[in-house]
Amino acid sequence: MNQPPRIALTHVSKRFASPHGKQPGQQVLSDVSLALQEGEFVCLLGASGCGKSTILNLLAGFEQPDQGQLLINGQPITGPGPDRGMVFQQPTLFPWLSVLDNVTFGPRMAGQTRQQYLAQAERQLRQVGLQDYADHFPWQLSGGMRQRAALARAWLPNPDILLMDEPFGALDAQTRLAMQELLTQIWQNTGTTLLFVTHDVDEALFLADRVLIMSSQPGRIREELHVPFERPRNIEDLVAEPAYGQLKRRILHVVREEAAKSLQTETS
Ligand SMILES: Nc1ncnc2c1ncn2[C@@H]1O[C@H](COP(=O)(O)OP(=O)(O)OP(=O)(O)O)[C@@H](O)[C@H]1O
Ligand SMILES: [Mg+2]
């Protein structure tokens, strides 16, 4: 029997109520269908406000769809669960906890003992190069190191799926590239299925097996592009490939068209 996709959205629609409850509210997603196979790395691109974070929130179990179905391994989502991790644009670490206590926050809250989680936490810290910073506090770390701690925390329960919402958006270009390489390595070691939201076309082409581009207002999947480059990828070689320029041009064209449409809607 065929394995069901790791993630499947079929005909998903979502409307948010207006703040005053009188207007009909905003149709954010309309008839969104997409599927990710186990171990796939997919980037989601689209204009601001088109519903990218809403898709991640539905998959995380933080929101419910109005219509359509969201399945994980063929099973409906009933709420948040340890099989799905989330990484946000800001690292969201607790400032009063050490790196180790931040990374192990989930298992500690679930009542696990230090003995149960320590070896795995140390492995995760080594994986992101923070083994010498376990006792540091977030304010003693650079932005990139904080985001590495957030990656270690997200991977600690060994999730099947990681939902990443512009996780490197606040980093400088060099740190961002280092984080992209680190993420690719961890992904290849773990086989986690990754749905990664970004506004950065180069980031999407460096990371993804597939790129999904959304339309605006209401959000739909407008275009899907296969990223054909072999792994491991090297950014210097990649940018020299003619196919890289062609894909980048196509994505920029669609994203700009959608961004212009959403600006028109906002100002009309
Ligand atoms: N909980 C909520 N209640 C009401 N409206 C919401 C809620 N969450 C999102 N929205 C609205 O839904 C629309 C889509 O929001 P969403 O955060 O999914 O966009 P996005 O594509 O992630 O944008 P960005 O690229 O700026 O992060 C926005 O207009 C937003 O105001
Ligand atoms: Mg967002």
Q: Whose CA is nearest to atom 6 of ligand 1?
A: 16
Q: How many CA atoms lie within 13 A of 209 on its CB side?
A: 13
**Ligand 1 contact via 91 beta carbon (within 6 Å):** no
Q: Which residues contact 14 (CB under 8 A, 6 or more apart)?
A: 27, 28, 29, 51, 54, 58, 63, 65, 66
Q: Which of 12, 15, 53 has most ligand 1 atoms within 8 Å of its beta carbon, as the pocket-test mutant?
A: 53
Q: What is the pLDDT along the chain (268 residues), one digit of tens a residue?
A: 578 999 999 999 999 987 776 677 889 999 999 999 999 999 999 999 999 999 999 999 999 999 999 999 999 999 999 899 999 988 789 999 999 999 999 999 989 999 999 999 999 999 999 999 999 999 999 999 999 999 999 999 999 999 999 999 999 999 999 999 999 999 999 999 999 999 999 999 999 999 999 998 789 999 999 999 999 999 999 999 999 999 999 999 999 998 888 777 766 6
Residue 57's CB: how many other CB atoms inside 10 A? 17
Residue whose CA lies nearest to ligand 1 atom number 29: 49
Which residue has the least CA distance to atom 26 on ligand 1?
48
Which residue CA neighbors atom 13 of ligand 1 most closely? 49
Q: How far apart are CA 151 and CA 103, in angstroms?
A: 9
pTM recorded for the entire structure: 0.95
Alpha carbon distance 70, 262 (integer Å): 26
Residue 54 CA to ligand 1 centre (angstroms): 6
16 lines ligand 1 (CB under 6 A): yes
Helix (H, G, I), strand (E, B) or coil at 17: coil
With H, G, I as helix, E, B as strand and everything else as coil, classify residue 79.
coil
Angle, vertex CA 208, rays to CA 82 and CA 127, nearest 5? 55
Other C-beta atoms closer than 10 Å to the C-beta of 16 total 14
Rounded (5°) CA angle 248-207-103: 145
Tokens of 59: 């998959």
Q: What is the 48 CA–ligand 2 centroid distance (Å)?
A: 7
Q: For residue 51, which atom of ligand 1 is closest to its CA?
A: 18
Q: Is 51 in the pocket of ligand 1 (CB under 6 A)?
A: yes
The neighbourhood of ligand 2, an ion, using CB within 5 A, equals: 53
Residue 138 · residue 99 · CB < 8 Å:
yes
Q: Would you list the domain boundaries of the chain?
A: 7-83+160-267, 93-158
Contact between residue 52 and residue 213 where contact means Cβ atoms under 8 Å apart? no
Which helix or strand (DSSP H or E) is residue 48 part of? Answer: none
Q: Are 161 and 83 in contact (CB under 8 A)?
A: yes
Instruction: Please state, in angstroms and rounded to a whole number, the distance separating the CA atoms of residues 104 and 101.
Output: 5
- The structural architecture, per CATH, of the domain 7-83+160-267 is 3-Layer(aba) Sandwich (3.40)
Distance 124 CA to ligand 1 centre (A): 32
Q: For 3, list phi and psi in degrees, rounded to 5.
A: -70, 135
Cβ burial, residue 161 (10 Å; 0-12/13-18/19+): buried
Longest dimension (CA), the chain: 60
